Amino acid sequence: MNYQAILNQIQKDIKPYLGQGKVADYIPALAGIDPIKFGMSIHTVDGIHAHIGDAQENFSIQSISKILTLTMAIAANDAGIWKRVGREPSGSKFNSLIQLELEQGIPRNPFINAGAHVITDIICSHIREPKEAILEFVRMISMNDQIDFDYAVAQSERETGNRNLAMGYFMKSFGNIHNKVREVLDVYFHQCSLSMSCSDLSKAFLYLANEGVIPSSEKAIIPKKASDRINALMLTCGMYDSVGDFAYRVGLPSKSGVGGGIVSIVPGEMSIAVWSPGLSESGNSLAGTKALELFVNYTGKTIF
């Protein structure tokens, strides 16, 4: 299959969708991003890659970082992880507080904000320098030592992150955050601020398409079973409260972020990353979702 030709076609098809949706502005440092940006990148487990548009331009990966920290928490072998966070779609907004009260401070899944706070808390309990460890991990899996936090974005989020802090303190009142809330949230804001390109991201998450092993170096990141399970969670919980619609249209384990990025996995075959900053109501990239839908239509690469 000529993936470059398919991506070139998508770049033409996607034009009417660019600029639609709304750039996330609740994090002030993200508000000024050009809404017309669009990039897409694939890396296959066999070493083929293809890119279009702004695929080499860095953007804020935001909630896509929740896959990184979940992988690190699983790799740390924390036995308590699934007692402290669920594995069900939330059906509500990614930063909703309502369920936390009803469900005694146990977040529905690791991909909504509250669940990601618990995962980051677990990392803080296992690793002395969690921010450095996250950087080291993401640089290793993407094979790019230049990857860094965007400190202005992290700072902007810390200054306006009252809702995230509220969730952290609320969960702490139920005993479900073990470290200091401000320290956990500092790590969380930094992981969300990671600045990466579509090309970096599609390369980084190849281990999820290859049974937990980086194909080029054959380095095992997590066991196959854990990789399968992260894919299962991405499919059922990775796209917030439009996860059902996304599964219907695209049908791939995926994770989005409010920076406008989406990572999708074709198990056994490839990792795809797309970026376009305009978001739909549910906080997922509007043109990015359309581009993935087109990719699946052109290639037939869906898990169903």
Residues 165-224 that bind ligand GLN (CB under 6 A): 192
- How is residue 155 written in tokens? 């700072």
Question: Is position 118 an interface residue for ligand GLN (rule: CB under 6 A)?
Answer: no
Active site residue 63: yes
Residues 67-86 that bind ligand GLN (CB under 6 A): none
Residues 249-288 that bind ligand GLN (CB under 6 A): 257-258, 283
Residue 87, Cβ density class (10 Å: 0-12 exposed, 13-18 middle, ≥19 buried): middle
CA dihedral 104, 109, 149, 23 (to 10 degrees): -100
- CB 144 within 8 Å of CB 18: no
Active site residue 66: yes
How many residues of this chain bind ligand GLN (CB under 6 A)? Answer: 11
The least distance separating ligand GLN from the CB of residue 157, rounded to whole angstroms, comes to: 6
- CB 42 within 8 Å of CB 93: no
- The conformational region for residue 139 under phi > 0 = left, psi -120 to 50 = alpha, else beta, is alpha
Question: Is position 156 an interface residue for ligand GLN (rule: CB under 6 A)?
Answer: no
Binding residue (CB under 6 A) for ligand GLN from 95, 99, 297, 299: 95
Among residues 24, 109, 17, which one has the least CA distance to residue 61? 24
The least distance separating ligand GLN from the CB of residue 9, rounded to whole angstroms, comes to: 29
Given the residues 240, 243, 250, 266, select the one marked as catalytic: 240
Active site residue 248: no
Active site residue 250: no
- How is residue 302 written in tokens? 């869906």
Give residues with Cβ within 8 angstroms of 234, minimum separation 6.
Answer: 67, 111, 208, 253, 254, 255, 265
The least distance separating ligand GLN from the CB of residue 71, rounded to whole angstroms, comes to: 17
What is d(CA 15, CA 13) in angstroms, rounded to the nearest whole number?
Answer: 6
Given the residues 41, 60, 63, 285, select the one marked as catalytic: 63
Question: Is position 157 an interface residue for ligand GLN (rule: CB under 6 A)?
Answer: yes
Binding residue (CB under 6 A) for ligand GLN from 62, 156, 176, 197: 62
Which residue in this structure is represented by tokens 């804020």? Answer: 60
Question: Is position 289 an interface residue for ligand GLN (rule: CB under 6 A)?
Answer: no
Residues annotated as part of the active site: 63, 66, 188, 240, 258
Positions touching ligand GLN (CB under 6 A) are 62-63, 94-95, 113, 157, 164, 192, 257-258, 283
